[in-house]
Amino acid sequence: MKKRLHPVRVLFSIIHLLKNLFFPAIFLFVIHSASEAKWVIWGRYGFFAFILISMIGAVLTWWTFRYEFREQTLHVHNGIFVKSERHVPLERIQNAHRHTSFFYKLFRMTSLSLETGGDEASVKLDMILLKEADRIEGMLKGEIEQDIRRIHFKVTNRELFKASFTSLSFFTIIPILASVYFTMDDFFKLGGLTREVADYVMAALWLLIPIIFALFIFGAAAGIITTYLRYGNFGIMSDDERIYLKKGVLNETLFTITKEKVQAVKWKQSLLKQWFGLVEVELISAGNVGEEELGTNSLFPFLPVKEAARIVEELLPEYKIKMEMEQLPRNALWIKLMRPSYLWIITTIILLWWQPVYWYASPILLMLLLFGRWLEFKRARYLINGSFLQIKSGIFSTELLVTNREKIQEIDVKEGLLQQKWNLSTIRIANRAKPVHYAAMMDVPVSVAGAFYDWYAKRE
């Protein structure tokens, strides 16, 4: 039986439309309220005509969109003037996103995105009842009854507090204050009063220090609240076949991924996370990524390193991550230092041509670039561990990729002119994802590249 999305979807489409037209309405009916110019008058007519056409379009879009599950296939029908019909076998649906905003909760509804493999777009069922979403997810698992889900991680208030500082979310107050500073005078027509107050505060130390302290406290509180609303109720669960990620307080997101579709596991650490011993674990999955704003292909971004290792081993027992890995040979450092830097060359030419008085910036930039290459050499690691490959790279932020030989779609081994003289190579792998995920390790010994090639040739 063909079904439509809930009729409330039309109301939400109209509300979203009016929200996007808020600033044009202010411009036409407030700022130019007394104007009798023809372009303003015709702009108002066009404004109302656009609203009318968009409202009609929202109703027709809702009316023509229908879906049904028949013979283990999802059939989607849509189109106002040009009709289209899409057939998606259930076996091609690999992951499922469930996003429930605060307003969706009020109506006991959710948005369900079904990810497919290959280059096909995901299917989004926006605004369906929660029980309908449960029914669809049950069909995808081949059973209506819910599996018993094991809980591997549940975020605590202490971890949320630490995450609010390592994410630097409290710095979001800076662009807000800058925006207020540059727009308040013009918007409220204060005649430069904002600038005068700011200059007075900057000149008075007894006012500046407590204001900075108050802003820091306000920014920290805002960061904690933002982190709590975004990552509160975060949980990592699994059953025998799937991994479930849940997060959000006001807006809830539930992400489901089939274990066998995981192509690789990536560990990401910024410099700040390295200091605090935290790591973000990302699952690289075959199929579409889904909606970018969900960000649910990542486990909790602020996991303690030991806790992350335990969770990955419980979720994917075959992924045995080893921290002791092979380093690059010493000649790899020399070739990294010898490679020409086009950034330094171009910057030096521009500097000497237009501002030769600042010539000393060129050697400073060169020293910074060389230091970055030395740091890149020190952090680079690789390891072939049975049927698994580990590659670690980065300068200040590092990434550790762990993947199975059978999950690698393509390999590439290259030798540049300098590498040939130093018996070094570059290996690159590709994992199935959308877009395709690439990882590379530069300046490994030729013998290692040959062993890597033979290792890949043994894949089943």
Residue 265 resides in a domain: no
Q: Is residue 378 over pLDDT 90? A: yes
Residue 95 has a pLDDT of 77
Residue 336 resides in a domain: yes
Q: Is residue 292 over pLDDT 50? A: no
Same domain assignment for residues 342 and 215 = no
Same domain assignment for residues 324 and 225 = no
pLDDT (average), residues 340-358: 90
pLDDT (average), residues 21-32: 85
pLDDT (average), residues 293-309: 75
Could you tell me which residues are beta bridge partners of residue 402?
A: 265, 390
Residue 147 resides in a domain: no
Q: Is residue 39 over pLDDT 60? A: yes
Q: Is residue 289 over pLDDT 60? A: no
- Provide the CATH number for the domain around residue 350: 2.30.29
* Residue 284 pLDDT level (bands cut at 50, 70, 90): confident
pLDDT in tens, 124-169: 898 899 999 988 888 877 643 455 788 998 888 888 877 777 766 6
Residue 205 has a pLDDT of 60
Residue 15 resides in a domain: yes
pLDDT (average), residues 370-386: 93
- Per the structure block, which two tokens stand in for 9? 């979807």
**Where on the phi/psi map is residue 95: left (φ > 0), alpha (ψ -120 to 50), or beta?**
beta
The rounded distance, in Å, linking the Cα atoms of 244 and 152 is 10
Same domain assignment for residues 338 and 446 = yes
In the sheet with 93-100, reading across from the earlier edge strand, the strands are 123-129, 109-116, 93-100, 252-258, 242-247, 235-238, 150-154
Domain count, the chain: 3
Same domain assignment for residues 208 and 324 = no
Q: Is residue 266 over pLDDT 70? A: yes
What percent of the chain has pLDDT above 90? 30
Same domain assignment for residues 340 and 204 = no
Burial class (CB in 10 A: 0-12, 13-18, 19+), 312: buried
What percent of the chain has pLDDT above 70? 86
Residue 96 has a pLDDT of 82
- Among 37, 64, 91, give the residue marking a domain's end: 64
- Please give the residue that has the higher pLDDT: either 308 or 291: 308
- Among 43, 64, 85, give the residue marking a domain's end: 64
- Among 27, 45, 64, give the residue marking a domain's end: 64
Residue 457 resides in a domain: yes
Residue 38 resides in a domain: yes
Residue 180 has a pLDDT of 60
pLDDT in tens, 64-92: 999 998 888 899 988 888 888 888 888 78
Please give the residue range of the domain that contains residue 43: 1-64
pLDDT (average), residues 344-364: 90
Residue 199 has a pLDDT of 66
Residue 29 resides in a domain: yes
Q: Is residue 291 over pLDDT 60? A: no
Residue 382 has a pLDDT of 94
Residue 55 has a pLDDT of 92
Same domain assignment for residues 59 and 167 = no
Residue 205 resides in a domain: yes
Least Cα distance to 245 among 294, 278, 287, 292 occurs for 294
* Residue 320 pLDDT level (bands cut at 50, 70, 90): confident
The rounded distance, in Å, linking the Cα atoms of 312 and 309 is 5
pLDDT (average), residues 18-25: 88
Least confident range of 192-196, 236-240, 413-417 = 192-196
Mean pLDDT for all residues in the chain = 83
Same domain assignment for residues 445 and 336 = yes
* Residue 234 pLDDT level (bands cut at 50, 70, 90): confident
Q: Is residue 428 over pLDDT 90? A: yes
